[in-house]
Amino acid sequence: MLTLGYIEHLNTYIHGNHDHHFNNYYIVNIIIEDLDDFYEDFYYNEYTYYEYIGTYIHDTPNQFIHPIILNYENIMHNEKSHTMKIIKTYFIGNVMLAIDYTYLLRILQRTFRRKNNYKKQKIEIRKNPRELYYRQKYGKWSKRASF
């Protein structure tokens, strides 16, 4: 089941020692289970969550070292990486991990937007009276209007 939540990359220096194969996973910080509480602004907004992340990052030694992710420091300082995401949670042992579905949704939106803009461009060219006259006369679109 998909839920809303705040996630971050699992880091052994911040989250404690786990198995080494967890280093490329996301760990769940906050899950929003009840949408009524979400609409009443009960949970953290993105600005307070970013402040919360900043407080325990600066108190932890070696906080910007990650065994797999080379630009981990840039990710942790970027406010856009600490936003609410659409996630699917699961447990491995006693650790709650997540899969980020927001990324897949953004890819789908970009693909749809690109196809939609292509169709709009095609309609814009073909509704030109000169192109309509060419189609009426020759029975096919001109080279400019055929895609």
CA gap 3, 16 in Å, rounded: 25
Taking alpha carbons only, the member of 113, 114, 123, 118 closest to residue 145 is 123
What is the percentage of the chain residues whose pLDDT exceeds 90?
Answer: 25
Please classify residue 5 by burial: count the beta carbons closer than 10 Å to its beta carbon, then call 0-12 exposed, 13-18 middle and 19+ buried: buried
Confidence of residue 122 (pLDDT cuts 50, 70, 90): very high
Mean pLDDT of the chain, nearest integer: 77
> Can you state the percent helix, strand and coil of the chain, rounding each to 5?
45, 20, 35
pTM: 0.58
Alpha helices in the chain (DSSP H): 12-15, 35-39, 46-58, 72-77, 102-126, 129-138
pLDDT attached to residue 6? 79
Cα-based distances in Å from 63 to 3, 9, 17, 23, 111: 28, 12, 14, 14, 36
pLDDT in tens, 28-82: 777 777 767 666 665 555 556 556 655 555 555 556 666 666 666 666 667 677 7
